[in-house]
Amino acid sequence: MSLRIGIPRALLYYRYFPLWNTFFRELGGQVVVSRPSTRRVLEEGFKYADDDVCIPIKMIFGHVLSIKDKVDYLFVPRFLSDSKRGYCCPMLAGLPEMIKYSVPELPPMLSPFVDERYRGTRLSKALSKVGRKLKVGPLRIRRAYAKARGQHDQFQRLMRDGGSIPVLINAFEANGCFPEKPMAEKREDESLKIGVVGHPYSLHDSLFNFDLFRRLKEAKASIYTQERVHLRIIDYHLQGLKKDIYWTLGREILGAAFHLLDSKVVDGLIYVTCFSCGIDSMIEPLVGFRAKGTASPYMALMIDEHTGIGGLVTRLEAFLDTVRRRKFNTDDGHRKSWA
Amino acid sequence: MKITVPHCGQMDIFINALCRRIGPEFIIPPKTSPRTLDLGIKYSPESTCLPFKFILGNFIEALEKGADTICMISDHGPCRVGMYDIVMQNILTEMGYRFNWITMDNNQILRSHLLIFVREQRKRGVSPLDALRALLFSWKKMKVCEEMERLTHKTRPYEVNRGETTRVYGECLRLIDGVANLRELKIAREDALSRLASIEQDRTRHPLKMLITGEGYMVINPHANQDIERRLGEMGVEVTRTMWFTSQIAHATRLDHFKKRSKSKAIRASKRYLPHNIGGECNASIGYAILYAREGYDGVIQLLPFGCILESVAKNILRTVSRDYDIPILTFSLTENLSETTITTRLSAFVDLIQRKIKGKGK
Amino acid sequence: MSTNLAVINEEGNVLCHRYLLTHGQPIRAIQEGLREILSLIPNGMEIHGVGTTGSARQLAGVMVGADVVKNEITAHAVGAIHFFPDARTILEIGGQDSKIIIIRDGLVVDFAMNTVCAAGTGSFLDQQALRLNIPIDQFGQYALRSKSPARIAGRCTVFAESDMVHKQQVGCNLEDIIAGLCEALVRNYLNNVAKGKEILEPIIFQGGVAANEGIRSAFERELGKRIHISKFFNVMGAIGATFLAQEKMDGGGETHFKGFEVINLHCKTRSFECKECENVCEIVAFSIGDEITAYWGDRCGNWENRL
């Protein structure tokens, strides 16, 4: 089977790219991932996506448009829940339909339903249904999934050890696999450690994040993202809430943020949020409240379609100045939070 | 204990009935007004949805009035409402208020609402039997209120004097709110029925029939939807809406599976377009539009707060439903800027569009 | 914002029409418009019906004694369909709002309206014309002379302005910048109000902004389709209202028209908050001289039915 399977470079691609890419390649397919986001892609997405939805969703519309004519199948899974205890954003569950009913002239879509809370609808089962649809034998499907899973687990390990998602994506796409050793870059001249949390599909999208990571590196800051925080630590920090945070990503962001604020692992925390993200609208205030009670500088950076680079850069620079001042003048007992 | 709840439809009548029978003292928040919304906007994080802002405003005004216990529903996602409690608690505490909070978990109505309720009452010395009797009485009151409200939907398009139905309905609600037991309730119901029946009507009219569906809070609350049911009624439209206090509870306790136009049925009907139930009212909004289109309704209006993560999916899909079933569907994605023109011009154009379509078909 | 008037005769021909700028004073504008209309119609002509439309349709209706008070979407559609019976899309861009109306088989089947954001409306251009110091009625000519329109970020007027400054700094000529603005407005309109709508020909463009040839040309380029503009493009709503009035009066009855004397009467509106219940509606009271002749704005009907 040498079918071209199109995967839009958006949303859960940033969580599952090694798994999906490996799976389809092992089935014998050719994986076509859309090019990294550009202004053009986003504007195309605007034409078909509703006003109410967040930029990452508009972005995936744009990515779908950019590859739909170049592939035999379009892979847009339907994720209702991606962990035993949490939901994804519900728009991810309705995504294939939203695309199907808005974008004209689509190739056939592969939209397996994934609900990790129940055995019958786990990702492994969902993908094996896709394999069967593509007329691949069950043994090959099982082997492909096992290999894909291995890559996914390695991805998680690499992230926890400090690998950055964009670097890992590039390495993986170039070589088809990860190197054995972690790729954490050691920098001797780093003076600041900055925690950055947010939805991975906003944070690591090259257009959306206005080059945040490069700017932090240029400011001699090392970056500590939420993927480095172990799930057990996240659970520990959320225990005290006595509240079930029922969005998987929301949970991770919140737990990681609490950890980064409380533990002094980092000198300051940035939460990159997206305008009209329902989940961020509930999670970010909780981080903000917590930040007021700790010593760590904190800034919520909200990005939307109208955001001008100038304003964001100014705020980032001001924030880093504060962090530096606080770190290198140790007598400051003033608690503050930044927005 | 001075307990308060958010304004939601006619829920005050239910709570009033309960609390007058067995207490505790119920502090009704002042009627939701522009001030309520302003307070809500001022103290809410910017991207929260509109219902959050209204409800926070209610709570602030109730706390100002002396309430010390807030009772609020919650659920387990994926809708944001399940997170309201923790975020609001933080906001109100930071504002300096002190209060207790009782969470009623929507996913476990019997286990949560019922048991908590009986347990709290037992703490106050009320026997479980009395508590259940009071609950039954209040439930029956709500049923009567809803019956009257449905009648106003049917009556208003025919009314000769604009505003008469609304005025009489207000009287009926006050009547029903005032009764203290089942016997009085029966009498009040007869009285209300006769008052509504004596509204002057012009039965030669042919009202359009429209469905109002969408996100629950926006559908059931006139203060959030610019009083859309009254406006449509006065334009000569018979409206039906999908969100009712008693039907939501019936659905949550799985007692509505076989009812004719139940939420379960709507969700089943929606599977053709959205194969899985993604939560909230999303599937139901799509499914109800289909069910009512099949019954020959003339139009559908979908209401949602701007940015609603569930109804946005429905909004997208309803465009296709509208084409497939040849039924006009108008969506209002409402923000804090609730100006008159937002709704009235579009509503009247929508009604015109449908009336002319029908006239055109008749030729 | 504009105040527009039109008169049709029994055969449905437009006898005269006026387009005035409201300048924030609708009563004065209506009176002025009526005065000008009176001077244009033949002596002794009888008015058999009156229709009002637009955001101040209630005020106008009460002032002149309207037989029909209709929303502007219906009015625009009715007007356009009269001149273009096959029309399937109406694009309407006014000073403060914009609309799209979808018509199939002579009937409105869908519409959308934008009143929230200036980016897709005439005021977007007005502001930039002011900045560039070019009269808005010459905008179109400049745009048509452009060889390669500059790409201007259009989602928001404020950001468009900073983008324009940048383009001027790097040496783009005025024609290209203005053409770029026209394209930006068209893009906004299509991505915003027109999103998801099926735009089929014949396409009719109306509203004050239709005077701008640069916009028309930008639409034609963007859509790849021909755009028609009626000579009555800027008063189509008023014309639609006259046809609606004609429809109504064909059914028989006397007109409610109060006569042209209202031109000289001292009319005033005053608003206040009604305190009779918790709704606190804003009531508008309209008076001629010292006498209040109409109320509106109440939810319950107590004020409207008072007189």
Which domains does chain A possess?
A: 4-175 (3.40.50.11890), 192-328 (3.40.50.11900)
C20-43 mean pLDDT: 91
Residues of chain C with C-beta less than 8 angstroms from the C-beta of A47:
190-191, 195
Give the integer Cα–Cα distance in Å for C222 and B4.
56
Cβ–Cβ gap A244/B308 under 8 Å: no
Task: Give pLDDT tens digits for C50-81.
Answer: 999 988 888 999 999 999 998 888 899 999 99
Closest by Cβ to B352, choosing from C74, C116, C300? C74
Task: Give pLDDT tens digits for B163-175.
Answer: 999 999 999 999 9
Neighbours of B252 (CB within 10 A): 17
Closest by Cβ to B47, choosing from A98, A243, A277? A277
Which residues does A211 contact at the CB level (< 8 Å), separation at least 6?
A: none
- Asked if residues A96 and A78 have their Cβ atoms less than 8 Å apart, the reply is yes
Whether the pLDDT of residue B247 is over 90: the answer is no
Q: How much of chain A, in percent, has pLDDT values that exceed 90? A: 56
Question: What pLDDT does residue B20 have?
Answer: 87
Asked if B166 is an interface residue toward chain C (Cβ–Cβ < 8 A), one would say yes
Chain A and chain C share a number of CB contacts under 8 A equal to: 16
C265-274 mean pLDDT: 89
Beta strands B100-105 and B208-214, pairing class: unpaired
Of residues B151, B134, C188, B82, the one with CA closest to residue A278: B82
Question: What pLDDT does residue B167 have?
Answer: 92
Which residues does C170 contact at the CB level (< 8 Å), separation at least 6?
A: none
Chain B and chain C share a number of CB contacts under 8 A equal to: 73
CA B247, chain centre distance (Å): 10
Strand partners, C6: C17
Question: What pLDDT does residue A23 have?
Answer: 96
Whether the pLDDT of residue B149 is over 80: the answer is yes
Closest by Cβ to A93, choosing from B80, B82, B278? B278
Greater model confidence, B250 or C173:
C173
Question: How distant is the Cα of C70 from the closest Cα of chain B, in angstroms?
Answer: 8
Chain B, nearest residue to C70 by Cα: B348
Give the integer Cα–Cα distance in Å for A171 and A178.
7
Cβ–Cβ gap C190/A47 under 8 Å: yes
Interface test with B, best of C52, C59, C73 (most B CBs within 10 A): C73
Of residues A202, A175, A150, A174, the one with CA closest to residue A14: A202
Question: What pLDDT does residue A334 have?
Answer: 41
Chain C, nearest residue to A43 by Cα: C191
Fold assignment, B207-363: Rossmann fold (3.40.50)
Residues of chain A with C-beta less than 8 angstroms from the C-beta of B289:
none
Residues of chain B with C-beta less than 8 angstroms from the C-beta of A283:
83
Of residues A75, A94, C100, C117, the one with CA closest to residue B316: A94
Residues of chain B with C-beta less than 8 angstroms from the C-beta of C301:
161-164, 166-167
C218-246 mean pLDDT: 94
Residues of chain B with C-beta less than 8 angstroms from the C-beta of A284:
45
Beta strands C267-273 and C282-288, pairing class: antiparallel
Residues of chain A with C-beta less than 8 angstroms from the C-beta of B55:
none
Residue window 3-62, chain B: list those with CB within 8 Å of chain C.
Answer: 30-31, 33-34
Give the integer Cα–Cα distance in Å for A55 and A75.
20
Q: In the structure, what pLDDT confidence band is assigned to residue A188 with cuts at 50, 70 and 90?
A: low
- Asked if residues A109 and A76 have their Cβ atoms less than 8 Å apart, the reply is yes
Neighbours of chain B (3+ CB pairs under 8 A): A, C
Where are the domains positioned within chain C? 2-74+238-264, 85-229, 266-307
Cβ–Cβ gap C109/B356 under 8 Å: no
Residues of chain A with C-beta less than 8 angstroms from the C-beta of B91:
285
- Residue by residue, DSSP assigns B157-178 as GGBSSTTHHHHHHHHHHHHHHH
Question: What pLDDT does residue B287 have?
Answer: 96
Asked if B87 is an interface residue toward chain A (Cβ–Cβ < 8 A), one would say yes
CATH architecture observed for domain C85-229:
2-Layer Sandwich (3.30)
Interface test with A, best of B81, B93, B278, B324 (most A CBs within 10 A): B278
Neighbours of chain A (3+ CB pairs under 8 A): B, C
Chain A, nearest residue to B76 by Cα: A246
Cβ–Cβ gap B309/A278 under 8 Å: yes
Task: Give pLDDT tens digits for A67-99.
Answer: 999 999 999 999 999 998 899 999 999 999 999
Asked if B360 is an interface residue toward chain C (Cβ–Cβ < 8 A), one would say yes
CATH architecture observed for domain B2-126:
3-Layer(aba) Sandwich (3.40)
User: What's the angle, vertex CA C42, arms to CA C38 and CA C48, rounded to 5?
Assistant: 75
Residues of chain A with C-beta less than 8 angstroms from the C-beta of B47:
273, 275-278, 280-281, 302
Give the integer Cα–Cα distance in Å for B174 and B199.
17
Closest by Cβ to C159, choosing from A47, A102, A306? A306
A214-234 mean pLDDT: 89
Closest by Cβ to B274, choosing from A94, A115, A302? A94
Question: What pLDDT does residue A1 have?
Answer: 59
Interface test with C, best of B61, B228, B345, B361 (most C CBs within 10 A): B345
Question: What pLDDT does residue A337 have?
Answer: 33
Residues of chain B with C-beta less than 8 angstroms from the C-beta of A241:
86
A237-246 mean pLDDT: 90
Whether the pLDDT of residue A336 is over 60: the answer is no
pTM: 0.87
Burial class (CB in 10 A: 0-12, 13-18, 19+), C97: buried
Q: How much of chain C, in percent, has pLDDT values that exceed 90? A: 42
Question: What pLDDT does residue A338 have?
Answer: 34
Q: Please give the torsion angle defined by the CA atoms of residues A95, B241, C192 and B46, in that order, rounded to the nearest 10 degrees.
A: -80
Chain A, nearest residue to C191 by Cα: A47
Q: How much of chain B, in percent, has pLDDT values that exceed 90? A: 67
Asked if C71 is an interface residue toward chain B (Cβ–Cβ < 8 A), one would say yes
Using DSSP, state whether A276 is helix, strand or coil.
coil
Question: What pLDDT does residue A185 have?
Answer: 59
Residues of chain B with C-beta less than 8 angstroms from the C-beta of A281:
45-49, 80, 307
Asked if A50 is an interface residue toward chain C (Cβ–Cβ < 8 A), one would say yes
Give the integer Cα–Cα distance in Å for C22 and B193.
50
Asked if A306 is an interface residue toward chain C (Cβ–Cβ < 8 A), one would say yes
Q: In the structure, what pLDDT confidence band is assigned to residue A332 with cuts at 50, 70 and 90?
A: very low
CA B320, chain centre distance (Å): 26
Cβ–Cβ gap A51/C159 under 8 Å: no
Cβ–Cβ gap B48/A91 under 8 Å: no
Task: Give pLDDT tens digits for A35-59.
Answer: 998 888 888 888 898 888 898 999 9
Q: In the structure, what pLDDT confidence band is assigned to residue A308 with cuts at 50, 70 and 90?
A: low
Greater model confidence, B296 or C281:
B296
